[in-house]
Every structure is written in C-alpha cells, then in structure tokens.
C-alpha cells in the first residue's frame, strides 16, 4: 500500500521542496540536491532540502512551486519517483461535457459516486469540459474533488496524466490529447457495430459466434438476406440502447416488420415484396444501417433474453469480468434494453427465467460467458484500442450456443446494476474506471 502525503505551503522565495530525510531515503532520493517536480502536465525544477521538523508523510513546498504546479494543497497525494523526477498524484481528468456550463452543482453532486473510494484513488480527480481547455498553457478550468470538504472545488489545474472521457471527440481534439497524453486516454477510440463485425467475424480463436452482418445499400440487400435467414434485423451502424432497430421476417408469403416506437411495440405486415420494398426505402432513406442475421435466442414471456457482461480493467491493467446481468425484453419486443421496457435479472436466476439449468450448469454458463468476453477484450487490446470499460451483449440460442451481439464501448451505462438492486456493484463500476485511470497515470499498485 502506498504512503499518503500532504502538502504544506511555506513562505520561501526560492523554488524549494522540504522533505524528511527518512522519507527521502525511502524514496531513493537522499542524495538529490535538485529534482523535477510534476503534477499532471506541469513540471518545475526544485531544490531539495531535508528537515527533521517534518513528519515522514509531510512535504513542504514554496509558494512559487505550488503556484507553478497549480497544485491544490488540500489533496492526499501519492509519490512516484523515476530517475530525477518526482511525480505527485495521481492527476486524473474526467472529460464529461463539451460545455463548461453543463457542469452544474447538481451534476457535480452526481459525480461524487466516482470518488466514493477516494481512499483507494488519492490525488486529483478533475471534472472538466472541452471549452475550458487552454491548449497553449496545457491548463483546464474545472472542478477538483476536495477530500476534506468532500466537495468539488473550482480552479485552474494542469492537464491530467490520464483521462476518462464520456463524450465524443473531433479529430482535432483526438490529435491534441494524443500529443499530450499519448495512450493514457480511455476509451481512446469509439467503434461501431460494423467495425465489430469486421474485426471478429473471421477470428477463429474467439470462442463465440458472430451473427452474419452486411451493410445496407439497397432494398435488395434485405431481400437477399431474408432468402438466407428468413428473419433479420436492420440496425443503425452507430445506434445506442436499441433505438432504431427493426426486425424483418418472411411469414407465409408476407413481410412482417416489428419495431418499437414511442414506447410501444409495433407490428406492420406487408402483403408482398413491392409493398415491403416501398416501406424499406422510406424507413431507411437516411443514415447508415446494417442488416444482421436474427438468432433464435432464448426467451421469457415472449421477450428476447440476452446478457450484459460488464468488463473493466483493474489497477493492474488486467481485464476483469465485474458482472453478468441478464435482460429480457417486453413481450413481442425486438430488443431487451432496459430503456426500451426490458427488465434485468442476475445470471444465477436464469433457471427461473429462461433455461431450466442446474446450479452446476449455471456456473458453467457464467464461466463460458466470462471467458468469451475476456477473449474479445484481449483481442481489442491487440488491435491497439485502450478500452478501460466495456459492456458486451451476449446472447444464448436455444442450443445454448453463445453469440456476440454487440460491444458497447461509448461509456456503457452501469445503472443496470441498480436494476438488479446491487448498489455495491454500481459503486464498484463507477470507481473502477478511475482505478484504471490511476494506473494509466503512472500509479500502479505496489
């Protein structure tokens, strides 16, 4: 466990770091006369002076150093020493909005869930927005968590050492953060359903099947797919939460379209191909769509069942399956999403929901899903993506085969944990992303 340090300002004109000699010896800097101090992207040159008046967990910095580092003195800090540099931190950024005005008092109150385990994080947790970044000075105006007052306090801070983002970025901003942070941004690259299919459909070493998928270009593409599979889904390439998903099936010479609109599950029947063609042209005239093979997944009370496998990297930068939560959609719904009327259940309840499995077989299914998800996540690492948190939607067909339906990589919503009344898991998922950010910032566990 790392030692926690606190900063005390001292009225000293020269840029000086005062440190207990025993602390300096433990950190391996007892002979240092000068060092580089860093906090986030800020770096300053400092003289090192020893003092027995200080406790072993106390550092005293001259006012000029504190000012130049933009270092809040209320923080609980860890120290990492590399050659001639002493890193104070961690300094973790949370890019949560494009507009600073959106970071309101009520918003910051909700952000406190991320720092419930501050005693594991330490350092600076800075919430900020794109429009308050000084790219030249490498500074941000934002709010830093104060562990003393237990509130976020406004200030000017250096750009962080690592960054968790929940918003999309333009190529300009991606390039900027790459130049400053390198590979210490996660999730560093958003990808869509078509990317996923191209990456994993031909990957033989992944122990999970992928529904056949193609790009929608013309109505004939839908009819060709229906010739092969009899039932398909048409989905937005970059859709979220099941929005815009339509199921198309051939039934007794007709074409049946099922979808959800304004909270209602709808069904439209086209009597022939010409009617279906006209309907498809009108429905998918704008946007980019995929045609995906429909898998006969297990069902419960007329609703499709799938599983959300929540994967996160821990402070050792290793993938961990945090939870597997089942979902079942409303009767006749084409999706299982909670936001579209679905309900959640813990995987150990599946024998009461969809499959009459023994406890032993439930444990085996849990292991299978976890293992397959781990393979997928490690493959993404190989592709060069830095994904710290992912939500994998995995289906089980009537023969108990596993299917990778979708990978949610744009800040997957952990509130599904609340749908199964697991507050502890919800908190763990929120704080988990920052523990990984801490390791990216250079503060791995001892």
- Cα 69 from Cα 93, distance rounded (Å): 16
- Report whether the peptide linkage leading into residue 90 is cis, meaning its omega lies within 30 degrees of zero: yes
Backbone φ, ψ for residue 213 (5° rounding)? -135, 145
Its CATH class, for the domain covering 212-294, is alpha beta
| Sign of the CA dihedral running 164, 166, 168, 169 | negative
- Per-residue DSSP letters for 379-428? HHHHTT---SEEEEEEEEBTT--EEEEEEE-SS--TTHHHHTT-HHHHHH
Q: How far apart are CA 312 and CA 316, in angstroms?
A: 11
Kindly calculate the radius of gyration of the chain based on its CA atoms and give it in whole angstroms: 26
> Which tokens belong to 328?
């079942």
| Contacts of 93 by beta carbon, 8 Å cutoff, 6+ apart | 126, 128, 140, 142, 159, 160, 162, 163, 164
DSSP reduced 3-state for 212: coil
DSSP character string of 268-313: EEESSHHHHHHHHHHHTSSS-EEEEEPP-B-EETTEEEEEEEEEEE
Backbone angles phi, psi at 205, to 5 degrees: -90, 10
Query: 14: which 2 tokens?
Result: 């020269």
Among residues 395, 423, 391, the alpha carbon closest in space to that of 407 is found at 391
The CATH 3.30.470.20 portion of the chain extends over 197-207+296-446
CA end-to-end distance (rounded Å), the chain: 6
Which residue spans of the chain are classified as CATH 3.30.1490? 212-294
Cα 228 to the chain's mean position, in Å?
36
Q: Can you name the CATH fold of 197-207+296-446?
A: D-amino Acid Aminotransferase; Chain A, domain 1 (3.30.470)
- The token duo for 154 is 């406004």
The three-point CA angle 291-327-306 to 5° equals 45
> Counting Cβ atoms within 10 Å, is residue 388 exposed (0-12), middle (13-18) or buried (19+)?
buried
Strands 58-62 and 6-10: parallel
Distance between CA atoms of 387 and 377, rounded to whole angstroms?
A: 8
Instruction: Please return the burial class of 100, using the count of CB atoms within 10 Å of its CB with bins 0-12, 13-18 and 19+.
Output: middle
2.40.40.20, 3.30.70.20, 3.20.20.70, 2.40.160.50: which CATH number matches 6-89?
2.40.40.20
Tens-level pLDDT at each residue, the chain (446 residues): 689 999 999 988 899 999 999 999 999 999 999 999 999 999 999 999 999 999 999 999 999 999 999 999 999 999 999 999 999 999 999 999 999 999 999 999 999 999 999 999 999 999 999 999 999 999 999 999 999 999 999 999 999 999 999 888 898 999 999 999 998 988 777 888 899 999 988 777 888 999 999 999 999 999 999 999 989 999 988 766 557 789 999 988 899 998 888 777 888 888 999 999 998 988 887 878 999 999 988 887 777 888 999 999 999 999 999 999 988 877 767 676 666 667 888 887 776 666 677 778 888 888 999 999 999 999 999 988 888 999 999 999 888 899 999 999 888 889 889 988 999 999 999 999 999 999 999 998 76
Tokens of 372: 């397959």
């Amino acid at each position: 466990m790392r030692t926690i340090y606190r900063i005390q300002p001292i009225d000293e004109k020269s840029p000086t770091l005062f440190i207990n000699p025993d602390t300096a010896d433990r950190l391996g800097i007892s002979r240092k006369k000068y060092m580089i101090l860093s906090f986030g992207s800020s770096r300053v040159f400092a003289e090192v002076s020893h003092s027995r008046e200080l406790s072993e967990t106390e550092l005293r910095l001259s006012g000029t150093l504190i000012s130049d580092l933009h270092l809040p003195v209320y923080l609980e800090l860890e120290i990492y020493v590399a050659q001639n540099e002493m890193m104070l931190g961690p300094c973790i950024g949370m890019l949560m909005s494009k507009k600073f005005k959106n970071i309101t008092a009520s918003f910051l109150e909700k952000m406190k869930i991320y720092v419930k385990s501050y005693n594991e994080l330490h350092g600076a947790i800075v919430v900020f927005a794109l429009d308050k970044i000084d790219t030249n000075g490498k500074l941000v105006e934002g709010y830093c968590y104060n562990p003393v007052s237990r509130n976020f306090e406004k200030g000017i801070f250096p750009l962080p050492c690592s960054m968790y983002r929940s918003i999309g970025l333009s190529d300009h901003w991606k390039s900027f953060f790459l130049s400053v942070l390198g590979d210490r941004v996660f999730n560093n690259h958003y990808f869509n359903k078509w990317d996923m299919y191209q990456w994993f459909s031909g990957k033989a070493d992944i122990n999970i099947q992928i529904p056949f998928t193609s790009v929608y270009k013309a109505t004939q593409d839908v009819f060709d797919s229906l010739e092969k599979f009899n039932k398909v889904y048409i989905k937005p390439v970059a859709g979220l939460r099941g929005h815009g998903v339509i199921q198309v099936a051939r039934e007794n010479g007709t074409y049946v379209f099922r979808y959800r609109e304004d909270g209602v599950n709808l069904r439209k029947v086209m009597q022939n191909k010409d009617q279906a063609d006209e309907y498809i042209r009108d429905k998918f005239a704008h946007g980019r769509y995929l045609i995906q093979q429909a898998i006969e997944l297990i069902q419960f009370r007329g609703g499709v069942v799938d599983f959300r496998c929540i994967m996160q990297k821990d402070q050792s930068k290793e993938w961990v399956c945090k939870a597997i939560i089942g979902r079942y959609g409303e009767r006749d719904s084409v999706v299982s999403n909670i936001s579209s009327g679905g309900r959640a259940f813990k995987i150990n309840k599946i024998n009461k929901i969809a499959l009459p499995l023994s406890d032993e077989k439930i444990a085996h299914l849990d292991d299978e899903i976890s293992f397959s998800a781990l393979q997928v996540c490690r493959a993404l690492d190989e592709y060069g993506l830095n994904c710290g948190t992912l939500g994998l939607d995995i289906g089980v067909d009537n023969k108990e085969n596993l299917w990778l339906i979708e990978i949610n990589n744009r800040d997957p919503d952990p509130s599904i944990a609340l749908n199964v009344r697991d507050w502890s898991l919800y908190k763990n998922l929120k704080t988990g992303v920052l523990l990984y950010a801490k390791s990216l910032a250079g503060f791995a566990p001892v």
